Amino acid sequence: MDYEMKMMDREIYGREIGEKIANRAGVKKLIIAMMEISTDDRIIFNAAKRQYGEYFSDDELKQFIAEAKNDSLQEA
């Protein structure tokens, strides 16, 4: 593998990592915002799934919701 290919691979890898981080931050912000509107997990889950279902599995989205609820309880 030559230098240019290595640099392209690093760029692609960096972009993928950046997208994952941005999507995680985005879904967490959406969940927090939805929790202010509704406490119904189904509504929160459906909103998160519509926006981020192509990036995260149902189980991951449910885990994010559980973490957000846990965080909000600890802050109270």
- Domain annotation covers residue 45: yes
- Domain annotation covers residue 29: no
Per residue in 2-41, pLDDT (tens digit) is 888 888 888 888 888 988 898 899 999 999 999 999 989 9
pLDDT surpassing 80 at residue 1: no
pLDDT surpassing 60 at residue 76: no
The pTM of the full predicted model, rounded to 2 decimals, is: 0.75
- Domain annotation covers residue 72: yes
- Domain annotation covers residue 9: no
- Domain annotation covers residue 5: no
With bands split at pLDDT 50, 70 and 90, how would you rate the model's confidence at 64?
very high
What per-residue confidence (pLDDT) applies to 51?
94
- Domain annotation covers residue 76: yes
Q: Which domain holds residue 62?
A: 35-76
The three-state DSSP-derived secondary structure of the chain is CCHHHHHHHHHHHHHHHHHHHHHHHHHHHHHHHHHHHCCCHHHHHHHHHHHHCCCCCHHHHHHHHHHHHHHHHHHC
User: How many structural domains comprise the chain?
Assistant: 1
pLDDT surpassing 60 at residue 42: yes
